[in-house]
């Protein structure tokens, strides 16, 4: 079984908070971005590699590749999965990736979305994905950085 420390939803994927605060807090040595677009975009990968912490490896896989390959991870790999949205996390869970907990970080405001927490905006599709994740036994938490308190996840469903 892969050693998944945490899965985070952050539409910025790898950036300052993920690289400096979350990675060191978790002790992750592998940052796995599960995102179909980024998996095929070497320029974005390069930019994220610059933000990644020293000593941590990065991987950029499609959702399908993540599902197919995560079971082959070595025990020494302390994996921090980063996804752009809850729908991608749901696909991973439904595909058999053993995700137990999801940290909800940044979900930017956009047309059709409503702000429900400090840095979290959702639409009906996001809410449906979060509900399904909960039904599948996945623990949800809203927390921007490890040094700040967690917000009430019931906000997601208002």
> In sequence order, what are the beta bridge partners of 126?
none
Question: Do 20 and 53 touch, CB atoms closer than 8 A?
Answer: yes
What are 103's strand-pairing partners? Answer: 8, 141
CB 67 within 8 A of CB 97: yes
- Given 3, 12, 15, 21, the catalytic residue: 15
CB 14 within 8 A of CB 51: yes
3-state secondary structure of 23: helix
- 32 close to 88: Cβ distance less than 8 angstroms: no
- 15 counts as catalytic: yes
H-state helical runs in 31-104: 36-39, 42-51, 63-69, 86-94
Q: Which two tokens stand for residue 134?
A: 């909960």
Residues identified as active-site:
15
């Amino acid at each position: 079984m892969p050693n998944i420390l945490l899965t985070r939803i952050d539409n910025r994927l790898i950036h300052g908070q993920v690289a400096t605060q979350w990675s060191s807090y978790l002790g992750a040595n592998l940052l796995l971005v599960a995102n179909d677009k980024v998996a095929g975009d070497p320029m974005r990968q390069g930019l994220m590699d610059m933000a990644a912490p020293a000593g941590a490896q990065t991987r950029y896989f499609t959702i399908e590749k993540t599902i197919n390959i995560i079971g082959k991870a070595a025990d020494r790999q302390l994996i921090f999965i980063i996804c752009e949205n809850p729908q991608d996390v749901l696909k991973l869970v439904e595909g058999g990736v053993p995700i137990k907990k999801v940290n909800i970080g940044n979900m930017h405001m956009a047309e059709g979305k409503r702000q429900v927490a400090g840095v979290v905006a959702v639409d009906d599709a996001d809410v449906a994905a979060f509900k399904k994740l909960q039904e599948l036994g996945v623990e949800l938490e809203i927390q921007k950085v490890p040094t700040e308190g967690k917000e009430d996840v019931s906000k997601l469903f208002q």
